[in-house]
């Protein structure tokens, strides 16, 4: 994702980026928390 955002410039599909943020980022945060719980405060989640 980083490579696309940095080098894709105007070719980045913002809908895809937003989908990754909403769908994939919470899963990643949970997986990282499972690996090392208690290290960092959890991000506020929107309802």
Q: What is the pLDDT of residue 47?
A: 52
Is 13 in contact with 32 (CB distance < 8 Å)? no
Total Cβ atoms within 10 A of residue 33: 13
What pTM value is reported for the model?
A: 0.51
Contacts of 42 (CB under 8 A, 6+ apart): 29, 33
Per-residue pLDDT of the chain (47 residues; tens, 9 = 90+): 788 788 887 788 889 889 989 999 999 989 988 988 776 666 655 55
């Amino acid at each position: 994702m980083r490579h696309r955002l940095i080098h894709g410039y105007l070719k980045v599909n913002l809908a895809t980026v937003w989908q990754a943020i909403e769908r994939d980022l919470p899963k990643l945060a949970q997986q990282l928390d499972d690996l090392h719980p208690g290290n960092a405060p959890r991000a506020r989640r929107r309802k």
